[in-house]
Amino acid sequence: MSHANNRLTQGGLIDRQQTINFSFNDKPYTGVAGDTLASALMANGVDLIGRSFKLHRPRGIMSAGVEECSAYVQVGNGARHTTNVSATQIEIYEGLNSRSIHCWPSVEHDVGAMVGAFSRLLPSGFYYKTFMWPAKFWNIYEHAIRGSAGLGKAPEVEDADTYEYRYDHFDLVIVGSGPAGLMAARQAAPSGARILLVEQDFKFGGSLLADTAKIDGQTPLQWVEQSLTELQQFANVTLLPRTTLTGYYDGNFLTALERVTDHLAENVRRRGIARERLWKIRAKQVILATGSIERPLVFGNNDRPGVMLASGARSYINRFGVKPGQKAVLFTNNDTAYQSAIELQQKGVTVAAIVDVRQAPPKALRQQASNHNIPLISGSVVHNVLGKKRVTAVEVAGLSAQNTLTSEQQQIQCDLVIQSGGWTPTVHLFSQAGGKLLYDEAQLCLRPDPASIPQELQSVGACNGHFSLTDALREGAEAAHQALLEAGFQSTQANWPEADESSSCIPQALWRVPVRKQGTKRFVDLHNDVSSSDVELANREGYRSVEHLKRYTATGMGPDQGRTSNINALAILAEEQNSTIPAVGTTRFRPPYTPLSFGAVAGRQVGEFFQVRRKTSLYETHQQAGAVFEPAGLWLRPDYYPLAGENREQAVLRECRAVRQGVGIFDGSSLGKLDIQGPDSLKLLNMLYANGWNTLKPGACRYGVMLKEDGFIFDDGVTACLGENHYHMTTTTGNAETVYSWVEEWLQCEWSDWDVYVTPVTTQWAAVSIAGPNARELLQQVGTDIDLSTEAFAHMQFREGTVAEIPARVFRISFTGEHSYEINVPSSYAPALWNALIKAGANLGIQPFGLEAIHRLRAEKGYIAVGLETDGTVTPFDLGMSWAVGKKKADFLGKRALSLPELTRSGRRQLVGLLTDEPAYVIPEGAQIRLESAGQTRSQGHVSSSYMSATLGRSMAMALLENGLERLGEKVTLHIDGKTVTAQVTKPLFYDEDGGLLNA
Amino acid sequence: MLLINCPFCGAREEHEFHYGGQAHITRPADPEQVDDKAWADYLYYRKNTLGLQAERWQHSFGCGQWFNALRCSQTHQFKAVYKMGDDAPEGLS
């Protein structure tokens, strides 16, 4: 296949001998080493890169860098698929495959383009306005909208690559390797300070890569080479290319994304090497040398392929050795772009005209244009671009003093429009760091306010609003000198070389070029298809704040973050309000500067490393028993233990029956455990729990409810008195850490003079529960030196001894309602204990039971589960647990709040049982109990726990119901997925009401 | 991300810490003597200072100790850290 060849025969930072094959929209092309995807496509004469976001207009290449707002593509496929990346930032590699986005069936023949014809019907806020009503049709609209809008295609399979973090500390971080950054690095290197220089490009040099001005008598490239050679001698200097400083946070904490393998052919990317590395850096001093971005002008059809920034064109011709067109027109309002036009002309692009907004451009420039035979049309504007998929001509007219078009007009044939509306300092990182911007009236830009330097940082060169090469070199050297002194290093006097360029950037403001024909689109933000009329409309509709404008029109959003559009949008908004840019203000820049992949953010924390998984010392034992595990907080706990052919429900019902009829064994090791010692232990328990502890004797256990100071239940559990001033507290699994920090907080912050120590011992002790009518028999059979008679060891007692010859703490407590022992042994003994119990229990019908079974068993007994029956708004009284509140106690956490009006009012939701009229039906947990009165429906309660009970042979539920305790026997109605369910309100207790089994 | 100077361990990354809200809130000695409004104030009402504020932090993934700090809510800069129970240092702004 033959392609147009726009490659120059010589010049540029490319290696013409090293060809690279790639594809775009399934067509094969060839580029060379040193190319970006954009330069390679341009060399092949590909003008049309994609379609625009909303209007599906044809779009080409607008720039040569990070500011690209037009040429977005997707790269790779399958497990290596990245979407919404700008072609100007993709370094090509052998086998690269890339595609357009936003177009169907192809970029040349895009069905969505007909939207463009109706663009008047798609103003800002169109979706909000049109698809608001009727609400129930939204899901129909949404389907169509999502299909036609959106950015690229999301990957459909798991990412094949790995990602990683790296943490580091530096004395000085320099961001950007243009003249200012390189100069700063050279000044700082000899000091021995640890220095990091990051550059987002794959080549160091920044603007110098496309520049021609002399530094110290050298070409810019020679000076860059010399600088790099010098810097590489220093072991204390790290040079990091392909790395974008994406975030600037408090305390000089920086994140930088290093693209490690994206530029390599897929077959040479080595397994185990991360695709991207996210650096997390703490810097003593930072120098921002991030340069500036050329600003486009806002004129008719300024989005046509072939319209680009002058700096971009200069980069293609000088750095990439590619002609961006054959015949160009420069449209400018300032001096800086003249050099680009002249260099294009020198490299063989005919420059048909320079159209300058200014009536009288400086004489030197007029002379230069004339020397190069370039016609200069001053006091004029390009007001319209002709051509659809490529520029074919521009319409030029004179500009009156009132900024209207004069009758003086002409059409100029061309296929390239290069433009410059001035320069915008790249202040994103300064702003992220907390710095304020000030508006520079002369240079028409926002630059860092020197009076508001937020952190240990300095902005130098163009990003500081000082655009000349000389200024960049001087500020770079001076800032490095200053930074070294601040960081405690020696630094010699700042030195910098002379440069023979000192261009000024004083543009003439023209924020909107007038149009001849009403309705001609003048784009402000190409990336989001926002035109000047959208900004005007937003302002008319009252979206007058910058923040509202941004959200209503999407200006400045998306991958390019408005790098080229922000100032123009602000200026137009200011003009519409007869105000000024400083008065309308600016939006603050937020991280990241350029998009971060989800992979980089996740790092290694994917798959099994996504979250910590805690396992009890019985995990393998459960696995061998065929347990199905369930995450409970961070723990993996057995949910049930199916036998061959059993489903979950069958297994759970069998486990429940085993506990009620024989004996079950349960791993409760994850229960939180705190060891409390010291003379003030009792005082502490009395404050932490709502109930009283004074009468708890060594060898006894007591259940307690813990409240927050707001009176609501926070946790519950059993505490045993191990001896004088020594207690063993248990918490729920999920709250183990929370309760410990809660206790510590009170002890450190409020009761620091109390003599008591709390130690978390959750993982020191494994807890194996045996429960059921045969539990005592089982303990006897497995062998223990503890007297198990009821007289010697009653319910809610604790004994120390041996079980199966293992030293153990045995608690006679129960969460199932059955006769039950919780045997605590040092964790490493747990498998031995478990296996001994299973063996000894074989003839007693022993069965392991899991989380689901224990939940059903405790619900039969009406025992609450923190997090189900409580949700942070439930008091002990709501749960009918006034017995667990020590009303005579002088004080405890939460006591005072229990008498606040809200907590004592009538109509609070109270815990009840529910029995459905249809016994086989299990109400879903969370179902609302409806109250219908006077044509209104509202919730009067909700179901907190609901199960099929093996014991009852029917379903049962617990619910929180308004005034529930007074409503026993009443019928309530629930509507669940179109089904009406009626249920009877009962006491929340379905089994062994008098607790005879527990005490037997 | 803040770099926080734990009075016991030295400067550590913010993610090792737990923020504990406004400092120097003392639990009323005899809650039963406090009226409903005063108790609600103690429970729920906190200052929303623009500028220097005293706040509590815990070095939860370090030494576990609580301490107080003076920090500017505007710039996020720490001006001082001091031990629990001590008064805020004066003369800072």
CB contact under 8 A, B40 and A749: no
Q: Do A748 and B39 touch (CB under 8 A)?
A: no
* Residues of A whose CB is below 8 A from B33: none
Burial A649-663 (b: 16+ CB within 10 A, else e): eebbbbbbbbbbbbb
* d(C-alpha A769, C-alpha A778), whole Å: 12
Q: Is there a contact between B43 and A250 if contact means CB atoms under 8 Å apart?
A: no
CB pairs under 8 A between A and B: 56
Our CA-based measurement puts residue B23 at a distance from the nearest CA of chain A, in whole angstroms, of 10
Residue A52: the pLDDT is 85
Of B1, B30, B39, the CB nearest to A250: B1
CB A774 within 8 A of CB A762: no
Task: Give residue-wise pLDDT tens across range A784-840.
Answer: 999 999 999 999 999 999 999 999 999 999 999 999 999 999 999 999 999 999 999
Q: A434 and B75 in contact by Cβ < 8 A?
A: yes
**A725 vs A147, higher pLDDT:** A725
Chain A nearest-CA distance from B16, in A, is: 14
- Between positions 64 and 93 of B, the ones with CB within 8 A of A are 64-66, 75-76, 84-85
Helix (H) or strand (E) run with residue A248 in it: strand A243-249
The residue type at A100: S
B3–chain A Cβ distance below 8 A for any pair: yes
* pLDDT, tens only, A906-933: 999 999 999 999 999 999 999 999 988 8
Token code pair at residue A656: 């429940």
Listed residue (A565, A731, A751, A632) closest to A62, CA to CA: A565
Q: Out of A250, A454, A896, name the one closest to residue B34 (CB).
A: A896
**Gap between the Cα atoms of A20 and A30, Å rounded:** 5
Degrees, nearest 5: CA angle B73-A286-A164: 90
ipTM of the complex: 0.97
With vertex at residue B76, the alpha carbon angle to CA B74 and CA B82, rounded to the nearest 5 degrees, is 120
Q: Which of A250, A750, A897 sits opposite B39 (nearest CB)?
A: A897
Any A CB within 8 A of B27 CB? yes
> Do the Cβ atoms of A749 and B34 come within 8 Å?
no
The tokens describing A910, both together, are 């109270």
Give A688: exposed, middle or buried? Use CB within 10 Å, 0-12, 13-18, 19+. buried
**Is B3–A896 a contact, with Cβ atoms under 8 angstroms apart?**
no
Predicted pLDDT of residue A1: 40
B93: confidence class by pLDDT, cuts 50, 70, 90? low
**Alpha helices of A446-565 — where are they, by DSSP H?**
469-486, 532-540, 546-553
Asked if B31's CB is within 8 angstroms of A896's CB, the reply is: yes
Quick one: pLDDT band at residue A380, thresholds 50, 70, 90? very high
CB B43 to CB A710 under 8 A? yes
pLDDT exceeds 80 at position A224: yes
Residue A128 pLDDT class (50, 70, 90 cuts):
low
* Global confidence as pTM: 0.89
Using CA atoms, how far residue A568 sits from A35, A370, A541, A573, B31, in Å, is: 31, 31, 19, 9, 61
Whether residue A734 has pLDDT greater than 60: yes
pLDDT band at A195 (very low <50, low <70, confident <90, very high): very high
Which residues of chain A make contact with B43, given a CB cutoff of 8 A?
709-710, 897
Residue in the structure block whose two tokens are 């404008």: A549
Task: Encode pLDDT of A514-561 as tens digits.
Answer: 999 999 999 999 988 999 999 999 999 999 899 899 989 989 888 888
Which residues in chain A are closer than 8 Å to B64, comparing Cβ atoms? 744
Task: Give the A-side interface with B, CB within 8 Å.
Answer: 249-251, 253, 282, 434, 454, 709-710, 741, 744-745, 748-750, 752, 890-891, 895-897, 900-901
Averaged confidence pLDDT in chain A: 93
Q: How far apart are the first and last CA of chain B?
A: 22
pLDDT over 70 (residue A461):
yes
The Cα–Cα gap between A206 and A418 comes to 20
Cα distance between residue A155 and residue A387, in whole Å: 35
Nearest CA in chain A to B24: A749
**Residue A121: per-residue pLDDT:** 58
- Among candidates B2, B39, B84 on the partner chain, residue whose Cβ is nearest the Cβ of A251: B2
**pLDDT above 60: residue A864:** yes
